[in-house]
Amino acid sequence: ISWLTESMAEGGPVAVQDRHRLKTSLKSSEDTPSFTVKSYACQRRTPLKHHNTFLTEALEILAENAEFGENEGRSVAFRRSASVLKALPYAVRQMDDLKNLPCLGEHSQRVIKEILEDGSSREVESTRQSAQFQAMKALTGVFGVGVRSADRGFREGLLCPSDLIRTGQKLNKAQQAGVQYYDDLNRPVTKQEALAISQIVERAVNSVLPGSIITLTGGFRRGKEVGHDVDFLITHEEEGVEEGLMPKLVNWLDEQGFLLYQKTTRNSYLESKDGPARPPNNMDRFERCFSIFKLGQCSEDSSAVLETGSDDSGTTDNVNGTTRQQPGSSWRAVRVDLVVSPFSQFAFATLGWTGSKLFERELRRWAGQEKGMSLSSHALYDSKQQRYLRANSEEEIFAHLGLEFIPPCERNS
Ligand code: DCT
Ligand code: MG
């Protein structure tokens, strides 16, 4: 579909202002390509840039608001609707364009209809402007503050991160770091910064366990230009030598002055012990380090990124009891997740850590509901055959699941 590739090549998601151009390229609903959309996100190709941003952003506000209210079912329903629209090779202009599409519930359709007819949805706009939504967004934007704590805070009258300090809330170490580096951590991490951090991580890993394999996962592996953090997965072909790697890695990084904060969790996954039962949160069983890196600022006119060593050259400023970095500082704080996986689980870990979150959720749902299998970031268990299915690559996992292989850049559901 050449017009699609053309508009993608021009760069940028197809936003509201591009709708007119798309309208003229597809004059009536008869011109809308007949296009079947599969109902699981893991059966679809979802590019990063698509044609319905004006609708998906609205639906995702409602999804986020449902998450703030801990209404998971409602949140997933809105996310699934948005995801279907992301996979369409055309911009939706009228309700007819939605005929035969899966996953579009009544509520989502009502919101879409209003946006198509009036340009915006009252429910979405009032949500966006509500004090509760804004406070929840600001408070959950603090590293270490989850929906529960944010909600408790809002009920006590807290509206923004500085209120956490002003009212003398008891904060754990993660939350203290979250408040301290709030501005930096809410500024998107660029690909250039992610690559600079990759170089540091490579240097660190290679000096503590030469021959290790390091993969950039998460949004950057899916082709995103920016992210909220940088995710790495580390392994070694010689099964077993990766044990104990994380503490050494963290030590190295810390000694070199790259870590502003870190918390490491041990690998608690044992196939023999855990069995096929899926852990409640499949992400938390690896040896994992949640960290905040201190990264030298990118200079604007060159691709070079200064690496900040142990000399403490960054300037800080104490504001309302929180330490804030001054604009123009020579370094910035960046969230980095490090995960170590045994080589035999590496394909599953790569698939599980590449995302998107919805794509992962749908893969697990597909495995369970359609195949009688249980998928995690560690393993795939076939309940009918009562055995684990081994895999050395993502392609093999898709094949076990009876799915067409979807490359990372098309997992942006
Ligand atoms: N993941 C998941 N389920 C979760 C959390 C994470 O399946 N509840 C997986 C999918 C993505 C990967 O872990 C990394 O998580 P994030 O960094 O939160 O997501 P991201 O896609 O990398 O987004 P961003 O670009 O904002 O970092
Ligand atoms: Mg990420």
The confidence score (pLDDT) of residue 333 equals 98
CA of 357 to the centre of ligand 2 (A): 10
Burial of 54 (0-12, 13-18, 19+ CB in 10 A): buried
Is residue 229 annotated as part of the catalytic site, yes or no?
yes
How many CB atoms are located within 10 Å of the residue 139 CB?
Answer: 24
> Amino acid letter at 61?
I
Nearest alpha carbon to residue 84 among 100, 111, 106, 104: 104
The confidence score (pLDDT) of residue 407 equals 98
The confidence score (pLDDT) of residue 3 equals 29
Q: Binding site: what residues are annotated?
A: 229, 231, 337
Is residue 18 annotated as part of the catalytic site, yes or no?
no
In a 3-state reduction of DSSP, which class is residue 61?
A: helix
Query: Dihedral angle at the C-alpha atoms of 184, 190, 192, 198, nearest 10 degrees?
Result: 70
The confidence score (pLDDT) of residue 175 equals 97
The confidence score (pLDDT) of residue 276 equals 60
Q: Of all atoms in ligand 1, which is nearest to the CA of residue 230?
A: 27
Q: Of all atoms in ligand 1, which is nearest to the CA of residue 227?
A: 25
Q: What is the DSSP string of 187-252?
A: SPEEHHHHHHHHHHHHHHHHHHSTT-EEEE-HHHHTT-SEESSEEEEEE-SSTTTTTTHHHHHHHH
The confidence score (pLDDT) of residue 32 equals 57
The confidence score (pLDDT) of residue 301 equals 43
Is residue 231 annotated as part of the catalytic site, yes or no?
yes
Burial 223-242 (b: 16+ CB within 10 A, else e): bbeebbbbbbbbbbeeeeeb
Predicted TM-score (pTM) of the model is 0.87
Distance CA 141, CA 62 (A): 17
Q: Binding site for Mg(2+): what residues are annotated?
A: 229, 231, 337
CA of 125 to the centre of ligand 2 (A): 28
CA of 188 to the centre of ligand 1 (A): 14
Pocket of ligand 1 (CB under 6 A): 218-219, 224, 227-229, 231, 283, 353, 355-357, 360
Nearest alpha carbon to residue 380 among 265, 366, 218: 366
ipTM comes to 0.97
Looking up tokens 């201190």 gives 294
Shortest-distance Cα residue to atom 11 of ligand 1: 355
- Here the tokens at position 139 are 């408070």
In a 3-state reduction of DSSP, which class is residue 370?
A: helix
CA of 319 to the centre of ligand 2 (A): 29
Q: Which ligand is nearest to the CA of 185?
A: 1
Cα separations in angstroms, 377 against 232, 353, 407:
14, 7, 17
Q: Which residues of the chain have pLDDT under 50?
A: 1-29, 279-282, 284, 300-304, 311-323
Q: Which residue out of 183, 254, 337, 382 is catalytically annotated?
A: 337
